[in-house]
Chain A
Amino acid sequence: MTELLIGIFNGVSIGSVLLLSALGLAIVFGLMGVINLAHGELMMLGAYTTFVVQNVFRSFGEPWFNLYILFAIPIAFLVTAAVGFGLERGVIRFLYGRPLETLLATWGVSLILQQFVRSVNWAIIFGVILFLFKDVLRWVFLKLLAIASLDKPSVRNWGQKLTIPVATVLSLGLIFAVNATKNEFLTKAWFSARNVDVTAPGWLQGGVSFGTVQLPYSRIFIIVLTLICLAGMYWFINKSNWGLRIRSVTQNREMSSCLGIPTAKVDALTFALGSGLAGIAGVAITLLGSVGPNTGQNYIVDAFMVVVVGGVGNLLGTILAALGIGVVNYLVGSGTFVTLFTSMQVPQFLLDIATFFATTSMAKVMSFAIIIAFLQFRPAGLFPPKGRTAEL
């Protein structure tokens, strides 16, 4: 009996990590049909935020340091939500209706973010700030032209067209110039390509003992965090005004737009929300694994599987999919089937198959195969969209 409970607990704890990392993805995909390949990198940013918060709190001393993770959650949410907002405004909104291009563009973004955390230093921050304030630059430039009475429509037009290239060149120039100063403070990479160390606060280390086994506090924390995020999402989507708008845009974008719902704002908000959830997932994974530039890549494909199995636009589907995949991964990978088959006297070849897949890496192969088989029965996931919006 305890073994069964432990098994369920382990399956659920694997599933909860999957769910947390897939939640934001599912919302964005459900609403906008956008596959965000940079989602993993947003998680990574969340994890790095946790690292920074941890270091700040370390300097505050003991009672505070223990609580850093509680502060890291909202801060990571805000940071990644801001990055997500910028991403949506800067790139993704130009690509609506072209999901495949969005996919490629977000892959590009993920590469940039990975390299960003590797080489970020003050020089790069200055460059980014300069780029973000490109509109101010243009405004100043045009004012100067106006003073020189050169302000003609054609000049304005060119100013509009050239803003981004010029700002890019200027920012790159600034970055190279600052780096060329060789100033230790300005050019030292903040994180470098190496992993950084995030230590769980004392109260999250260890666990509750059950006979020979121990349920880790960190896992319990993640499960609780996932539940809170789910409850929050449920409330936000179903009870708040913006949630109503989000739901209406999900169901019928044109009609919502006609009825005066600001779809552009809804898109930006949803994307920021999804990214923010990635940030929270980023905080959670610091309890389990490494924090480094490649962290996001370790989670992203599993998260996609959850979304694909769960179906679009239904939280329940995502939850069930995450838990299902978690349990399958655990049962196959931990060799439970092998013990089960041995005690059940099943034919030898079944036992051989079970043994063959009973390593962690082969369990992944197995669970992907099961997913593809599952999609034969439910091609649009567990809860496919119904009604007129459903595609043929």
Chain B
Amino acid sequence: MSNLGRRKFILYSSAALGSSILLKACGTPPETTEETTTEEGSTPAAEGGDTIKVGILHSLSGTMAISETTVVEAEKLAIKEINAMGGVNGKQIEAIVEDGASDWDVFKEKAEKLIDQDGVAVVFGCWTSASRKAVKDVFESKDHILFYPLQYEGQECSKNIFYTGAAPNQQIEPAVDWLLENKGTDFFLVGSDYVFPRTANTIIKAQLDAKGGTTVGEDYLPLGNTEVTPIIAKIQAALPDGGVIFNSLNGDSNVAFFKQIADAGLTPDKYPVMSVSIAEEEVRQIGPEYLKGHYASWNYFQTVETPENEKWVADFKAEYGEDRVTNDPMEAAYMMVYLWKQAVEQAGDAYDLEGVRNAAIGQEFAAPEGLVTMNANHHLSKTVRIGEVREDGLFDIVWSTDGPIAPQAWNQYVEATKGYACDWSDPAKGEKYEI
């Protein structure tokens, strides 16, 4: 082991304590491998007897609870369905739910707990990029598996994470292209003050430069801020005759933003807003009358017409109430449980993490949004759609790609990652290789 030198260091530095540390260090492997995974290879976690333990790690409290609780419901529904169908390989799934409390540090702590203490076979979790980045280290150092259900900014490709939401080229880029073609070339970018909007806007600016659009301004609201007046003034100054607003605000600020721009007279015919974090659930909370006529870009809308979707929406409403709606993150969360199940069935053993990871690549699933395929870069091929908010709070799908689009983990507009790709099916290529 590589840390012999340091063990000596301890021994010399504190002779009295050294012995205990040495005991500890040497005593670890035989005693505790049952409970913990070591850092080399994919050592199986605790065998769960008749059940397979899986972790669910989302915020049940704090600012993000509003969104993340819906994803938990979708995941629980999928697990319930799978259990009702006889489980995975004849074993029932046992979900262990942990609260990340909207705090990245807590996410990390709970991820460690799920893996080390509960010995889960997989974790379904996270919403914000910050929480995913925080737990990424944990999953990589313990060589475990995380399924992540959100569309995100890309520029990441972990061996241990499966991304079932959209990569930028499956949401943001088509949305920008569509706007350039149909709505105008002057863009004002509004976002929450954190990583996803900032990175997304970096991509959008690069794309606009490449395609002949202009970024007339951008501004960021702190998470939870509800005073939009200064931004409205900026938009009016920058786009006196109307233009496109590209909105990557998250959470509460969206409500304030749409209520206040509507009152300030920024109507969708002159100032169409394209949102990438607003789905059916958010529309319901903001109020459809403020959003009517604005646009959103997703892979899934509740109004998608597939038999799988019809069934899923009905099942979801039966489980959680007639008044509930489904949306893209929930759909991604729902289907990722199935994707994992298929991978486990192919690998044979849920705790053979390496096997499950390899088996996951290439899995196809008829999801509510249509057919999805897990690519070698751990992202899904997905269909892209653009929807317009209508009176009842659902979306009219105004545009969609002909079929699933292959995901790009590394962005092809941003200078630093141009020409790179990711491929986990080939150990020589891995996280980032030049095409």
| A and B interact physically | yes
Contact of A288 with B226 at beta-carbon distance under 8 Å, contacts A212-B236, A360-B219 already known: yes
Contact B230 A196 (CB under 8 A): no
Contact segment of B31-39, B136-144, B202-210, B285-293: B285-293
Contact segment of B61-69, B146-154, B296-304, B414-422: B61-69
Q: What is the minimal beta-carbon distance from A61 to any residue of chain B, in angstroms?
A: 17
Contact B226 A298 (CB under 8 A): yes
Contact B230 A333 (CB under 8 A): yes
Contact A197 B287 (CB under 8 A): yes
Contact A359 B285 (CB under 8 A): no
Residue of A nearest to B194 (CB): A361
Contact A290 B265 (CB under 8 A): no
Contact B264 A216 (CB under 8 A): yes
Contact segment of A9-17, A173-181, A229-237, A248-256: A9-17
Residues of B contacting A359 with CB < 8 Å? 193, 219-220
Contact A287 B230 (CB under 8 A): no
Find the residue from B220, B240, B252, B290 having the highest chain A CB count within 10 A: B252
Q: B11: CB under 8 A from chain A?
A: no
Q: B42: CB under 8 A from chain A?
A: no
Q: Tally of A-B residue pairs with Cβ under 8 A? A: 138
CA of A206 to CA of B267, assembled, Å:
10
Please encode chain A, from 316 to 338, with 1 for each CB lying within 8 Å of some chain B CB and 0 for all others. Answer: 00000000000001100111100
Contact A290 B226 (CB under 8 A): yes
Contact B65 A193 (CB under 8 A): yes
Contact B225 A213 (CB under 8 A): no
Contact A14 B227 (CB under 8 A): yes
Contact of A298 with B252 at beta-carbon distance under 8 Å, contacts A199-B287, A216-B263 already known: yes
Contact A217 B263 (CB under 8 A): yes
Contact B220 A214 (CB under 8 A): no
CA of A197 to CA of B252, assembled, Å:
11
Docked complex: B212-238 residues within 8 A CB-CB of A: 219-222, 224-227, 229-231, 233-234, 236-237
| Range class of the A interface residue count | 35 or more
CA of A217 to CA of B219, assembled, Å:
25
Residues of B contacting A196 with CB < 8 Å? 285
Please encode chain A, from 193 to 234, with 1 for each CB lying within 8 Å of some chain B CB and 0 for all others. Answer: 111111110000111010011101111000000000000000
Contact of A330 with B225 at beta-carbon distance under 8 Å, contacts A195-B255, A205-B262, A361-B220 already known: no
Q: What is the minimal beta-carbon distance from A115 to any residue of chain B, in angstroms?
A: 8
Contact A294 B252 (CB under 8 A): yes
Residues of chain B at interface, number, CB under 8 A: 43
Q: A39: CB under 8 A from chain B?
A: no
* In-complex Cβ contact of B229 among A13, A118, A197 (8 A): A13
* In-complex Cβ contact of A361 among B222, B252, B264, B265 (8 A): B222
Contact A197 B263 (CB under 8 A): no
Q: B405: CB under 8 A from chain A?
A: no
Contact of A360 with B230 at beta-carbon distance under 8 Å, contacts A193-B66, A197-B287, A199-B289 already known: yes
Residue of A nearest to B219 (CB): A359
Contact of A289 with B230 at beta-carbon distance under 8 Å, contacts A197-B284, A214-B265 already known: no
Please encode chain A, from 20 to 47, with 1 for each CB lying within 8 Å of some chain B CB and 0 for all others. Answer: 0000000000000000000000000000
CA of A216 to CA of B263, assembled, Å:
5
Contact A213 B264 (CB under 8 A): yes
CA of A192 to CA of B286, assembled, Å:
16
Q: B281: CB under 8 A from chain A?
A: yes
Q: B164: CB under 8 A from chain A?
A: no
Contact A197 B286 (CB under 8 A): yes
Contact A290 B252 (CB under 8 A): yes
CA of A359 to CA of B220, assembled, Å:
6
Contact B264 A214 (CB under 8 A): yes
Residues of B contacting A293 with CB < 8 Å? 65-66
Residues of B contacting A10 with CB < 8 Å? 229-230, 233
Contact A294 B63 (CB under 8 A): yes
Q: B248: CB under 8 A from chain A?
A: no
Contact A334 B234 (CB under 8 A): yes
Q: What is the minimal beta-carbon distance from B318 to any residue of chain A, in angstroms?
A: 13
Residues of A contacting B259 with CB < 8 Å? 200, 218, 287-289
Contact B286 A216 (CB under 8 A): no
* In-complex Cβ contact of B260 among A7, A118, A216, A336 (8 A): A216
Residues of A contacting B222 with CB < 8 Å? 360-361, 364
Q: What is the minimal beta-carbon distance from B330 to any residue of chain A, in angstroms?
A: 13
Q: B201: CB under 8 A from chain A?
A: no
CA of A295 to CA of B254, assembled, Å:
13
* In-complex Cβ contact of A290 among B62, B69, B237, B285 (8 A): B285
* In-complex Cβ contact of A207 among B255, B263, B290 (8 A): B263
* In-complex Cβ contact of B221 among A197, A291, A292, A360 (8 A): A360
Please encode chain B, from 233 to 263, with 1 for each CB lying within 8 Å of some chain A CB and 0 for all others. Answer: 1101100100000000000111110011011
Q: A168: CB under 8 A from chain B?
A: no
Q: What is the minimal beta-carbon distance from A211 to any residue of chain B, in angstroms?
A: 10
Contact B226 A285 (CB under 8 A): yes
Q: A363: CB under 8 A from chain B?
A: yes
Residues of A contacting B284 with CB < 8 Å? 197
Q: A66: CB under 8 A from chain B?
A: no
Q: A297: CB under 8 A from chain B?
A: yes
Residues of A contacting B234 with CB < 8 Å? 334-335
Q: B171: CB under 8 A from chain A?
A: no
Contact B69 A209 (CB under 8 A): no
Contact B286 A360 (CB under 8 A): no
Q: What is the minimal beta-carbon distance from B263 to any residue of chain A, in angstroms?
A: 3
Find the residue from B236, B263, B281, B286 having the highest chain A CB count within 10 A: B263
Contact A289 B285 (CB under 8 A): no
Residues of B contacting A335 with CB < 8 Å? 230, 234, 237
CA of A292 to CA of B63, assembled, Å:
9
Q: B54: CB under 8 A from chain A?
A: no
Q: B326: CB under 8 A from chain A?
A: no
Contact B263 A298 (CB under 8 A): no
Please encode chain A, from 332 to 351, with 1 for each CB lying within 8 Å of some chain B CB and 0 for all others. Answer: 01111001000000000000
Residue of A nearest to B102 (CB): A294
Find the residue from B61, B70, B254 having the highest chain A CB count within 10 A: B61
CA of A150 to CA of B224, assembled, Å:
58
Please encode chain A, from 95 to 139, with 1 for each CB lying within 8 Å of some chain B CB and 0 for all others. Answer: 000000000000000000001001000000000000000000000
CA of A144 to CA of B61, assembled, Å:
44
Q: B60: CB under 8 A from chain A?
A: yes
Q: What is the minimal beta-carbon distance from B401 to any residue of chain A, in angstroms?
A: 31
CA of A206 to CA of B236, assembled, Å:
16
Contact B225 A194 (CB under 8 A): no
Residue of A nearest to B238 (CB): A335
| Interface residues in chain A, defined as those with a beta carbon under 8 Å from any beta carbon in chain B | 6-7, 10, 13-14, 17, 115, 118, 192-200, 205-207, 209, 212-214, 216-219, 285, 287-295, 297-299, 329-330, 333-336, 339, 359-361, 363-364
Pairs of residues from A and B, 9 with the lowest C-beta to C-beta distance, nearest first: A216-B263, A214-B265, A289-B226, A290-B255, A333-B230, A289-B256, A334-B230, A195-B285, A290-B252
15 contacts between A and B (CB under 8 A): A10-B230, A10-B233, A14-B229, A194-B281, A195-B255, A206-B265, A207-B263, A216-B264, A217-B263, A288-B226, A289-B259, A290-B226, A290-B253, A290-B285, A330-B230
Query: Assuming A288-B226, A361-B220, what are 17 further A-B pairs, CB within 8 angstroms?
Result: A115-B61, A193-B61, A194-B281, A195-B252, A200-B259, A205-B263, A213-B236, A216-B263, A219-B263, A287-B259, A290-B255, A290-B256, A290-B286, A329-B227, A330-B230, A361-B193, A364-B225
